[in-house]
Amino acid sequence: MACPARHGRAIIGANDGNDVVTISTSSRFSSLTGMFSPQSVAVLGASSEPARIGGRPIDLMRKQGFAGPIYPVNPRRDEVQGLRCYPSVADLPAVPDVAIVAVAAEIAVDAVADLAARGVKNVVMLSAGFAEVDEAGAAAQARMVGIARRAGMRLLGPNCLGLFNARLAFYATFSAAFDSGWPIPGRIGIASQSGAYGSHVFAAMRDRGIGTPLMVTTGNEGDVTIGDIIGWMAEDPDTDVIAAYAEGIRESDSFLAALTAAKAAKKPIVMMKVGRSALGTAAAQSHTASIAGDDAVTDAVLREFGVVRARTTEEMIDIALTATRKIYPAGNTLGVLTVSGGAGVLISDAAEALGLPMPEMPQDAQDRLRAIIPFCAPRNPVDCTAQITNQPQSLGTFAEALVVDGGYKSVLAFWSQAGATEANVGRLTTSVAPLIAQYPDRLFMLSVLAPRATQQRYEAAGFLVMEDPSRAVTALHAMGRFGDAFAETAKAAPPVVPAFTLPDRTPSEAEAKTLLAAAGIPAAPERACATVEAAVAAAQEIGFPVVLKILSPDIVHKSEIGGVLLDIADATAVRAGFATLMQRGATVAGARLDGVLVAKQLKGGVECILGIHRDPVFGPIAMFGLGGIFVEVLKDVVFHRAPFGEDVAEAMIRSIKAAPLLTGVRGRKPADIKALARMLARLSVFAHQAGDRLLGIDLNPVLAMPDGEGAFAVDAVIEVEQNG
């Protein structure tokens, strides 16, 4: 059973009864320190068998040397794994920082009540059988979370694999990943809604020699969410890079606060957000009772905060590893030094697909390199050919040219298996290591096939090492995306829109346009006309040709019944058109007919669509795209969380693939992008101010007239939740 989205309600603090005292979102993150870095631990459901869920945490902590006291709790045992066992929480000699609960679901709620009564402030609930199972389980989970909230307790889970913090030898988990090796020291934190997959990512990183000493999994997220974990890691001085796995974002405020905190701290987040497909979304909902939401919306939110979304586990690991160098070049460019022309083409294709610029080398530098190796190709990629092995003294010159003359912020050298020979290891490290030291703000990546020991020698010299050049390009591109996000300046404030009240029901087109006009969102000149004579008078006043539209709050999609008539050229056509529209409107059962809308027929503009979708997690989301086939077939649209200013709106407009149709192509005059951006920004503020009753807005088409002539909403639909 999916739980409803929560909007940032803090759940910590003392209380004098059944009410929860709220606190700030930032305190919500710091409140987890006792859970993630405890000094003492209780284990409820403690088992003498290390392989059992209640025995594994004790076994792991004892093997790794957890320094604080461990209190097993089990009424049927006097001793567990060499430790004194206590019959109940009330019998514990001290209040532990955190309690690990591994008991049957039917007694887990009472266990939380006992812990709350004892004053325990952190619980890791490994027990399953709650909201992920059925409605009865969801109700039990709600009771358990309610007890925790009233006690000012943080609760991880239920139905989670728990967490580990290897820095303290704290293992509140029953993961089998440690059977094949322990965590390696490092500065990457893993936050995962899935326990099994989080363990998979950890083990895969460990097996590549990557340090991930901290992993937290959330399970059902009864209390602690993926946002809480990311927020805590953003504030943790021992974590530099955050790798996250999510199936659905359940609660927006802490998630957005976490992304804000990470961005402010210049801590990169690489996230694998699954549920892109309809099938994947259904699986996510049944797996952890998550609300997967609209994937396009989530993608837009992640982009807003500079989070890089990984498509595969391998990609997540590559990006996280590269990010540990803490070099995030804004305005990233790629220079390539290769011994293979074919690899240079492959790398160029990968960079172009990602949008990573590869500017040409300056002409004087190209000439200088050709003088050294006449048959080299020095444009970029710089193909020095295999001849460089016969002229090893020239390697440093080629590399320096890329860094100094080319000024590239990322340099990728493709050496394949040739980089495994002892001679080339010496040449590359000797020639390039001084450049790496001299330019600490540049990224130096080496694509080489070599034994792990040889790769480590390159890494010690300052290189990042990756076997596959396409993966290397992806990782380098991600560093630039982080850098661009970290370098962003303050955005313009959203425009001011006068206060308004939504009508009690979905308004007609004319009413919708009147409401939007008050917010500074213009429509084409038009009149609402209840009679045919009024329609004729309006058409003559506006000027022919005009458009006639059926006017009814109950007919949202007018074109489906032929409710829009174009090219109405005279009074006779107005009269005939009025009659036609009334006849067609009458075919819609129960529809109220208020007459027709007479509008000026605009020509010469570019058709666009502006819209608002109310996301169940992130609230109003603005959309922009070109109208017609571009939105219906190509889906060339962009989303952004509302509200925002005109600078963000203009960036959205210019980001779509078909933007050249607006900026001017083949001699065509540019459209009025400033007017479009003004309209889009105001629409975002209007939607933000409208509140939860606003279901959506559709301005389609909006005509973007030639530059300086404005933008006008030709059609407008505002859908609202009816009062009562």
Q: With contact defined as beta carbons under 8 Å apart, do 695 and 614 qualify?
A: yes
Find, among 510, 445, 527, the residue nearest to 479 by Cα: 445
Tally of CB atoms within 10 A around 331: 10
| Residue 305 CB neighbour total at 10 angstroms | 18
Question: What Å distances lie between residue 627 and 116, 343, 678, CA to CA?
Answer: 57, 40, 18
Given a cut of 80, whether residue 348 has pLDDT beyond it is yes
Tokens of 541: 């006043």
13 or 712, higher pLDDT: 712
Condensed to tens digits (0 to 9), the pLDDT of residues 276-324 reads 655 445 444 433 333 334 788 899 999 999 999 999 999 999 999 999 9
Q: Which residues, in sequence order, are bridge partners of residue 410?
A: 334, 443
Q: How far apart are CA 14 and CA 26, in angstroms?
A: 17
What helix, strand, coil percent values describe the chain, rounded to 5? 40, 20, 40
Do 624 and 608 meet the contact criterion of CB atoms below 8 Å apart?
yes
pLDDT digits (tens, 9 = 90+) for 458-484: 999 999 999 999 999 999 999 999 999
- Residues forming beta bridges with residue 190, ordered by sequence position: 215, 243
C-alpha–C-alpha distance, residues 442 and 436, integer Å = 7
Residue with tokens 């005009």: 546
Q: Report the candidate in 426, 366, 425, 422 with the shortest Cα–Cα distance to residue 398.
A: 366
Q: Which domains, from first to last, does the chain contain?
A: 25-323 (3.40.50.720), 334-487 (3.40.50.261), 525-600 (3.30.1490.20), 606-720 (3.30.470.20)
HEC string for 163-181: EEECCCCEEEECCCHHHHC
pLDDT bucket at 666, cuts 50 / 70 / 90: confident
- Taking CA atoms, 637 is separated from 21, 585, 719, in Å, by 42, 32, 21
Distance in angstroms between the alpha carbons of the first and the last residue of the chain: 27
From CA 182, how far away is CA 134, in angstroms rounded? 36
User: For 492-539, how does the pLDDT look when each residue is reduced to its tens digit (9 = 90+)?
Assistant: 999 999 999 999 999 988 899 999 999 999 998 899 999 999 999 999
Residue 355 CA: distances (Å) to CA of 19, 78, 327, 332, 420: 52, 64, 19, 10, 31
Answer whether 37's CB lies under 8 Å from 46's CB: no
Structure tokens at 460: 């010690």
Confidence label for 24 from pLDDT (cuts 50, 70 and 90): low
Q: What is the pLDDT at residue 11?
A: 33
Tokens of 56: 């594994």
Which tops the pLDDT comparison, 386 or 362?
362
Compute the mean pLDDT over every residue in the chain, rounded to the nearest whole number.
Answer: 92
Residue 350's closest CA among 399, 275, 410?
Answer: 410
CB atoms within 10 A of CB 93: 9
Among 143, 100, 113, 108, residue whose Cα is nearest residue 128: 108
What pLDDT score was predicted for residue 286? 36
pLDDT-derived band at 234 (thresholds 50, 70, 90) equals very high
Mean pLDDT of 330-351: 96
pLDDT, tens digit, 9 for 90 and up, residues 673-713: 999 999 999 999 999 999 999 999 999 899 999 999 999 99
Beta strands in 27-185 (DSSP E): 41-44, 70-73, 79-80, 83-84, 98-101, 122-125, 154-156, 162-165, 170-173
Q: What is the CA radius of gyration of the chain?
A: 31
Q: Could you say which DSSP state residue 52 is in? A: S
Longest dimension (CA), the chain: 99
The span from the CA of 42 to the CA of 40, in Å, is: 7
Q: Which uninterrupted H or E stretch holds 528? A: strand 526-529
Average of per-residue pLDDT across 528-551: 95
Residue 58 has what pLDDT?
A: 98
Q: How far is residue 460 from each of residues 372, 457, 463, measured CA to CA in Å?
A: 30, 5, 7
Q: What is the pLDDT of residues 81-117, one digit of tens each?
A: 999 999 999 999 999 999 999 999 999 999 999 999 9
Q: Which position has the higher pLDDT, 287 or 327?
A: 327
Q: Is 432 exposed, middle or buried (0-12, 13-18, 19+ CB in 10 A)?
A: buried
Contact yes or no for 521/713 (Cβ under 8 A): yes
SS3 100: strand
Do residues 532 and 579 make contact, with C-beta atoms less than 8 angstroms apart? yes
pLDDT at 8: 35
Strands (E) across 52-158 are located at: 70-73, 79-80, 83-84, 98-101, 122-125, 154-156
Lowest mean pLDDT among 22-31, 185-194, 675-684: 22-31
Considering the entire predicted model, what is its pTM?
Answer: 0.90
705, two tokens: 């007239």
Task: State the DSSP H helix or E strand holding residue 14, giving kind and residue range, or none if neither.
Answer: none
Task: Give the CB-side neighbour count of residue 688, counting CA atoms within 13 A.
Answer: 18
Residue 630: the pLDDT is: 72
Structure tokens at 697: 């807005």
pLDDT of residue 358: 98
The total number of residues written for the chain in this structure = 724
Both tokens assigned to 623: 């959309």
Does the pLDDT value for residue 564 go beyond 90?
yes
More confidently predicted of 122 and 248: 122
- Residue 294: per-residue pLDDT: 73
